[in-house]
Amino acid sequence: MVTKMRLSEEERSRYLTPTPHIDCDSEAITSYVNRITVGLSSDKEKAMAVFTAVRDDVLYDPYYYDLSPNGMRASAILQKGRGYCVAKALVFTAAARAAGVPARLGFADVKNHLSTQRLRKLMGTDLFVYHGYSEIFLGDHWIKVTPTFNASLCEKFGVHPLEFDGKNDCLFHPFDSEGRKHMEYVLDRGPYDDVPVDEIINASLAAYPTLFENLESLGGGKEHGDFAKEAEAEAL
């Protein structure tokens, strides 16, 4: 059951205000949002338009881990046009705030996340810690949404792209396009006002020591593979 609530003025201001990572007042974010939401009046319409745009305009790339201050800034990620789940949640959260919709970040551990054989081998597990999502406040409650997987990538994996209806949670992919169980929600770590970079680094190093030994990617933003091509090749 959805718990109805009202945001106080302090809370509303808090979730519309820029942070070091959620730079919703930057020119890159504001101009992007203005273009997406032109002609739209309601928060619901704006949130839905921003969700679809971020989902498909910023390509999901798990091989691009840049946890440097600039690498984890929403405007820089948007301009780069790609990033992993936390990066995409950052862009959506910043864009929602720029559209006047209160938003915050959320994190969860998931299993059977969309991945390739090479990525699973590098990680050594099918558990993804600190998968990033967003929470937006529409009407009288918080809604969880994740724009992580762009439609073109979902097609390669044989899953339906997530569609946000402006009313209900839009999280993960519980089933593939043939109705088989796919992603599993393991642990919700809750909402955050900004990116807990140190927590993510520590949890990732503990969970994927082999991955980071191979990618050497913390703070480096290096390219180490073509995820979309891997997915396409495995689908053949």
Q: What is the predicted pLDDT for the residue at 8?
A: 93
Range of the domain at 36: 9-231
Q: Among residues 49, 85, 72, which one has the least CA distance to residue 173?
A: 85
* Strand partners of residue 104: 135
Q: Is the pTM of this model over 0.85?
A: yes
Residue 103, domain member (yes or no): yes
CATH number of the domain where residue 190 is located: 3.10.620.30
Whether 4 is covered by a domain: the verdict is: no
In a domain, 66, yes or no: yes
The answer to whether residue 70 sits within a structural domain is yes
CA angle 76, 79, 84 (to 5 degrees): 70
Domain count, the chain: 1
User: Which pLDDT score is estimated for 111?
Assistant: 83
* 128 sits in which H/E element: strand 127-138
Is the residue at 236 inside a domain?
no
Mean pLDDT by 10 residues, the chain (236 residues): 82 96 98 97 97 96 83 95 94 98 96 76 85 94 94 84 92 62 79 93 85 53 66 70
